[in-house]
């Protein structure tokens, strides 16, 4: 483990932001901290960087307990959400600051700053003060400063938050390559699920009470721990329907607008228990009437997005369902239609707690 | 830019002129007085037409004045030097003590920090005479009465709270992330203080230093009570012109002009610096 956090507690006045949080990050791994604002993502980064101290718990970096270790002794690179560039120094001096701290030779510093600037395409603005830089250039300068000394640990606090959409898209493609080239252990904070999915080897989803789920992007998307996480990942959002599974002929099944949807037999334990059925919009397709398991719906609205078309439809019982299909594929845009749901991707959550019900779990 | 009519512009110009006249006229009148003899100053009605003379300045610089009652001796130039010395030394000491204190109060919240900061500010609430009476006795016992050191110490009552509270605000306005970023980059606490906090708070320090200098320069009562003639600043020294044979208005005016010059020069010099600092720019956006 490159970073190991154990039972971290941190409060501000009476507000307990982190409560007994534990998390490990392996060497060379990129871990994305994902969650709404106020979940304590930034606090966690600051604790690791050492600019604030935990009330309780241990932080171990590369095998060394960080208690009493000052931020400048931790060998960490960090990029702040608000860039936090030194306003009275030019971009060159900003990027060079971790190198001057390490007492590198002048030629060495010059080489490294140019190398980083080349990588981030800001060589032409190295002589500019932060106020003369565009937001994108500031962001790259801040990133360059974090990378300059080739730290073994990189903390990136939502570095794409304050840049425009076009640049954010470019950087989302560019960053994974950049981070891999660094061979550093990276903790990346974001509120954007696409960024999280694109960059993370693993994603730690933070909720109001610490870390709600840790897993690979696929894990989080396909088997979210609860309905909240299920809703956070995916656009359009997952369909969540209140259901009570029944015992059918071949095993447990769900009645949806008169159609029967069989469940995996491993879900036998949930029969009669109030559940929430989670169905990703892309696992629903339009089909012809008459086939078994087909549900008639009334189309309410159609939203063409770039690469997909999202349709909002209502079942006879008035439940609204989002259906996503690749752009350009045929589909009805008004009136009555019929949909089929792929039951293999369906998720079941407990109605009372919102937690996902694992196959094989008994009532 | 909103639309402004010609009438509005004219009215605005008149208003500004009136304000400027109101503030500048006394100074302008004093400058005129400094080039006149007591006779032309005191004539009724007053007039701005007169024969300019340099005798007031001459008298101040030589330290001798022939009056109807005989030769009057005073040492205005050494008063001026005292003012300069006391103010500069007080502000220097105030900055050395006040800047680290301001940083501590602004950045490192500790138990009782607000109370201590407020206590320091409260020094400015007390009427100076209230402080002076006991202080005179202590100073005489300690041998600090009539010393530059003693005066500079007492001047901290004026200078230190001012510097502390102004500079503290500037330190608090520096986003903490900028300092954190410098620490994380590998620089220690002191390097961060000197390379980040201090340069970024410099406009505030310049403003506080300038204000403190003016307050110290204009102080009258401390030096009047605690110092004898050879340590007294111009504010007290000007009393010498109130003589048995009358008030030497010309010399007083010339003395005022001479004593305004250093602060004026300092203000003009610091102004450039203040503006430059203010335009340094924010963290983002």
Of A13, A21, A14, which Cα lies nearest the Cα of A45? A21
pLDDT recorded at residue B69: 62
Note whether residue B177 is domain-resident: yes
Q: Hey, of B175, B176, B183, B186, which one would you mutate to test binding to chain A, going by the most A CBs within 10 A of its CB?
A: B186
Instruction: Indicate if the pLDDT at residue B278 is higher than 80.
Output: no
Query: What's the mean pLDDT in A22-49?
Result: 91
Note whether residue B141 is domain-resident: yes
CA distances from A201 to A188, A219, A226, A278, B167 (A): 11, 11, 21, 25, 47
Contacts of B265 (CB under 8 A, 6+ apart): none
Give chain A's largest Cα–Cα span: 79
Instruction: Indicate if the pLDDT at residue A165 is higher than 60.
Output: yes
| B284 confidence band (pLDDT: 50, 70, 90) | very low
Q: Are residues B29 and B112 in the same domain?
A: no
Which tens digits make up the pLDDT trace of A87-106? Answer: 999 999 999 999 999 999 99
Query: If you compute the radius of gyration of chain A from its CA atoms, what whole number of angstroms results?
Result: 25
Of B280, B99, B177, B273, which Cα lies nearest the Cα of A89? B280
Note whether residue B34 is domain-resident: yes
Q: Are residues B128 and B197 in the same domain?
A: yes
Among residues B47, B73, B99, the one where a domain terminates is B73
Count CA atoms closer than 13 A to A282's CA, side-chain side: 11
Contacts of A341 (CB under 8 A, 6+ apart): A256, A261, A279, A283, A284, A293, A295
Q: Which residue of B has its CA nearest to A145?
A: B185
Say whether B186 and A138 touch across the interface (CB within 8 A). no
Note whether residue B256 is domain-resident: yes
Q: Hey, of A81, A84, A89, which one would you mutate to test binding to chain B, going by the most B CBs within 10 A of its CB?
A: A84
Among residues B24, B47, B73, the one where a domain terminates is B73
Instruction: Indicate if the pLDDT at residue B277 is higher than 70.
Output: no
Using a pLDDT cut of 90, give the percent of chain A over it: 45
Instruction: Indicate if the pLDDT at residue B281 is higher than 60.
Output: no
Query: What's the mean pLDDT in A293-301?
Result: 87
Chain B nearest CA to A286, separation (Å): 47
Chain B residues 245-284 with CB within 8 Å of chain A: 280-284
Q: Are residues B60 and B46 in the same domain?
A: yes
What residues make up the domain containing B186? 76-278
Q: Are residues B192 and B155 in the same domain?
A: yes
Q: Is B243 left (phi over 0), alpha (psi -120 to 50) or beta?
A: beta
Chain B nearest CA to A75, separation (Å): 7
Say whether A80 and B182 touch across the interface (CB within 8 A). no
Chain B residues touching residue A134 (CB < 8 angstroms): none
Chain B residues 152-211 with CB within 8 Å of chain A: 175, 177-178, 180-189, 191, 196, 199-200
Helix (H) or strand (E) holding A287: strand A284-287
| B239 confidence band (pLDDT: 50, 70, 90) | confident
Tokens 């030394």 appear where? B89
Note whether residue B21 is domain-resident: yes
**Dist CA A59 CA A57 (whole Å):** 7
Using a pLDDT cut of 70, give the percent of chain A over it: 99
* Angle at CA of residue A91, ends A87 and A95, nearest 5°: 105
Of B231, B236, B228, which Cα lies nearest the Cα of B255? B236
Chain B residues touching residue A84 (CB < 8 angstroms): 175, 177-178, 180-181, 283
Q: Are residues B234 and B138 in the same domain?
A: yes
Q: How many other C-beta atoms are found inside a 10 Å radius of the C-beta of residue A319?
A: 17
Average pLDDT, chain A: 89
Q: Please tell me which of the candidates A87, A97, A145 has its beta carbon nearest to residue B283.
A: A87
Q: Are residues B27 and B104 in the same domain?
A: no
Chain B nearest CA to A340, separation (Å): 49
Which range of A67-71, B88-92, B142-146 scores highest in mean pLDDT? It is: B88-92
| B276 confidence band (pLDDT: 50, 70, 90) | low
Say whether A149 and B280 touch across the interface (CB within 8 A). no
Query: What's the mean pLDDT in A240-265?
Result: 84
Which tens digits make up the pLDDT trace of A218-240? Answer: 999 999 999 999 999 988 899 99
Q: How many other C-beta atoms are found inside a 10 Å radius of the C-beta of residue B149?
A: 11
Note whether residue B157 is domain-resident: yes
Contacts of A227 (CB under 8 A, 6+ apart): A240, A276, A278, A349, A354
Q: Please tell me which of the candidates A50, A71, A86 has its beta carbon nearest to residue B178.
A: A86
pLDDT recorded at residue A362: 61
**Dist CA B219 CA B87 (whole Å):** 9
Inter-axis angle of helices B113-122 and B148-173, to 10 degrees? 130
Q: How many domains does chain B have?
A: 2
Chain A residues touching residue B199 (CB < 8 angstroms): 88
Cβ atoms of residues A215 and A203 within 8 Å? yes
Q: Are residues B243 and B124 in the same domain?
A: yes
Q: Are residues B43 and B131 in the same domain?
A: no
Quote the DSSP letter at residue A91: H
Chain A nearest CA to B101, separation (Å): 21
**Dist CA B145 CA B142 (whole Å):** 8
Strands of A308-315's sheet, edge to edge? Answer: A284-287, A336-341, A295-304, A308-315, A320-326
Token duo for residue B237: 């020294």
Which tens digits make up the pLDDT trace of A101-127? Answer: 999 999 999 999 999 998 888 999 999
DSSP state string for A264-282: -GGGGGGTTS-EEEEE-GG
Q: Are residues B123 and B49 in the same domain?
A: no
**CATH number of the domain encompassing residue B235:** 1.10.3720.10
Contacts of A152 (CB under 8 A, 6+ apart): A2, A27, A62, A75, A184, A185
Contacts of B178 (CB under 8 A, 6+ apart): A84, A85, A86, A87, B196, B200, B283
pLDDT recorded at residue A119: 85
Token duo for residue A202: 């693993």
DSSP state string for A327-352: TTS----SSEEEEEE-GGG-EEEETT
Chain B residues touching residue A135 (CB < 8 angstroms): 284-285
Token duo for residue A169: 């898209």
Q: Hey, of B181, B191, B280, which one would you mutate to test binding to chain A, going by the most A CBs within 10 A of its CB?
A: B181
Of A267, A277, A279, which Cα lies nearest the Cα of A358? A267
Query: What's the mean pLDDT in A131-151?
Result: 91
Query: What's the mean pLDDT in B160-177?
Result: 91
Q: How many other C-beta atoms are found inside a 10 Å radius of the C-beta of residue A327?
A: 12
| B275 confidence band (pLDDT: 50, 70, 90) | low
Quote the DSSP letter at residue B58: H
**Dist CA B255 CA B234 (whole Å):** 8
pLDDT recorded at residue B67: 66
pLDDT recorded at residue B283: 39
Q: Please tell me which of the candidates A78, A129, A130 has its beta carbon nearest to residue B184.
A: A78
Among residues B38, B57, B73, the one where a domain terminates is B73
Q: Please tell me which of the candidates B189, B281, B283 has its beta carbon nearest to residue A82.
A: B283
Note whether residue B161 is domain-resident: yes
Q: Which residue of B has its CA nearest to A151?
A: B185
Q: Are residues B81 and B60 in the same domain?
A: no
Note whether residue B284 is domain-resident: no
Chain A residues touching residue B204 (CB < 8 angstroms): none
Chain B nearest CA to A74, separation (Å): 8
A vs B, Cβ pairs < 8 A, gives 83
Token duo for residue B283: 């963290």
Cβ atoms of residues B203 and B45 within 8 Å? no
Q: Are residues B164 and B258 in the same domain?
A: yes
Say whether A87 and B188 touch across the interface (CB within 8 A). no
Chain A residues touching residue B285 (CB < 8 angstroms): 135
3-state helix, strand, coil in chain A (%, to 5): 30, 35, 35
DSSP state string for B93-121: HHHHHHHHHHHHHHHS--TTHHHHHHHHH
Say whether A149 and B186 touch across the interface (CB within 8 A). yes
Of A241, A235, A230, which Cα lies nearest the Cα of A303? A235
pLDDT recorded at residue B70: 67
Q: Hey, of A50, A99, A101, A102, which one would you mutate to test binding to chain B, going by the most B CBs within 10 A of its CB?
A: A101
Say whether B283 and A84 touch across the interface (CB within 8 A). yes
- Beta-ladder partners of A338: A287, A296
DSSP state string for B136-199: HHHHHHHT-TT-HHHHHHHHHHHHHHHHHHHHHHHHHHS-HHHHHHHHHTT--HHHHIIIIIHH
Q: What is the dihedral of CA A170, A176, A178, A182, to 10 degrees?
A: 160
Which tens digits make up the pLDDT trace of B56-68? Answer: 888 888 877 766 6
Q: Please tell me which of the candidates A70, A84, A88 has its beta carbon nearest to residue B175.
A: A84
Say whether A145 and B283 touch across the interface (CB within 8 A). no
Q: Are residues B137 and B269 in the same domain?
A: yes
Chain A nearest CA to B28, separation (Å): 41
Chain B residues touching residue A85 (CB < 8 angstroms): 178, 181, 283
Is the CA virtual torsion A246, A249, A252, A257 positive or negative? negative
**Dist CA B163 CA B74 (whole Å):** 34
What are the structural domains of chain A? 3-224 (3.40.50.300), 239-350 (2.40.50.140)
């Amino acid at each position: 483990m490159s970073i190991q956090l154990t039972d971290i507690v941190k409060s501000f006045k009476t507000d307990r932001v982190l409560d007994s949080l534990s998390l490990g990050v392996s060497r060379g791994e990129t871990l994305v901290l994902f969650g709404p604002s106020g979940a304590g993502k930034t606090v966690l980064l600051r604790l690791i960087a050492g600019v604030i101290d935990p009330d309780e718990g241990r932080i171990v970096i590369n095998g060394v307990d960080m208690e009493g270790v000052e931020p400048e002794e931790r060998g960490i690179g960090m990029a702040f959400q608000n860039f936090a560039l030194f306003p009275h120094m030019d971009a060159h001096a900003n990027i060079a600051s971790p190198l001057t701290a390490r007492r590198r030779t002048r030629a060495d510093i010059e080489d490294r700053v140019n190398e980083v600037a080349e990588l981030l395409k800001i060589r032409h603005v190295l002589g500019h003060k932060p106020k003369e830089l565009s937001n994108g250039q500031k962001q790259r300068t801040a990133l360059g400063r974090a990378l300059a000394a080739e730290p073994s640990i990189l903390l990136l606090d939502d570095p794409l938050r304050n840049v425009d959409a076009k640049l954010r898209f470019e950087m989302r493609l560019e960053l994974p390559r950049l981070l891999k080239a660094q061979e550093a252990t990276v903790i990346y904070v974001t509120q954007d699920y696409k960024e999280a999915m694109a960059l993370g080897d693993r994603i730690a989803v933070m909720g109001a009470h610490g870390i709600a789920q840790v897993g690979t992007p696929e894990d989080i998307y396909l088997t979210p721990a609860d309905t909240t996480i299920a809703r956070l990942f995916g656009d359009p959002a997952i369909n969540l329907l209140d259901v009570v599974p029944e015992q059918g002929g071949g095993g447990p099944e769900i009645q949806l607008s008169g159609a029967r949807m069989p469940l995996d037999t491993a879900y036998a334990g949930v029969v009669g228990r109030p559940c929430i059925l989670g169905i990703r919009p892309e696992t629903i397709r339009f089909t012809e009437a008459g086939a078994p398991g087909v549900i008639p719906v009334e189309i309410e609205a159609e939203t063409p997005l770039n690469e997909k078309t999202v349709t909002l439809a209502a079942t006879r019982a008035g439940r609204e369902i989002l259906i996503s299909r690749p752009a350009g594929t045929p589909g009805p845009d008004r009136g009555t239609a019929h949909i089929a749901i792929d039951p293999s991707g369906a998720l079941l959550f407990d109605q009372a707690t919102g937690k996902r019900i694992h196959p094989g779990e008994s009532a | 830019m909103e639309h402004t009519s010609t009438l509005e512009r004219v009215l605005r110009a008149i208003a500004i002129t009136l304000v400027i006249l109101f503030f500048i006229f006394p100074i302008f009148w004093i400058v005129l007085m400094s080039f006149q003899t007591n006779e032309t100053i005191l004539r009724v009605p007053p007039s701005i037409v007169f024969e300019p003379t340099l005798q007031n300045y001459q008298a101040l610089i030589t330290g001798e004045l022939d009056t109807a009652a005989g030769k009057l001796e005073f040492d205005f130039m050494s008063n001026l030097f005292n003012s300069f010395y006391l103010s500069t030394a007080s502000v220097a000491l105030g900055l050395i003590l006040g800047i680290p204190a301001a940083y501590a109060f602004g950045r490192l919240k500790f138990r009782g920090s607000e109370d201590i900061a407020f206590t320091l500010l409260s020094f400015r609430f007390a009427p100076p005479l209230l402080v002076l009476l006991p202080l005179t006795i202590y100073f005489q016992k300690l041998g600090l009465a009539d010393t530059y050191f003693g005066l500079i110490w007492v001047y901290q009552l004026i200078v230190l709270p001012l510097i502390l509270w102004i500079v503290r605000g500037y330190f608090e306005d520096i986003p903490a992330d900028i300092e954190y970023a410098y620490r994380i980059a590998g620089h220690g606490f002191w390097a961060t203080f000197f390379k980040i906090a201090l340069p970024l708070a410099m406009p505030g320090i310049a403003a506080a230093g300038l204000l403190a200098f003016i307050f110290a320069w204009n102080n009258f009562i401390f030096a009047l009570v605690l110092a004898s003639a050879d340590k007294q600043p111009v504010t007290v020294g000007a009393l010498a012109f109130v003589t048995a044979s009358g008030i030497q208005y010309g010399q007083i005016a010339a003395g005022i002009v001479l004593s305004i010059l250093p602060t004026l020069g300092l203000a003009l010099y610091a102004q450039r610096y203040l503006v430059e600092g203010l335009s340094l720019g924010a963290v983002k956006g």
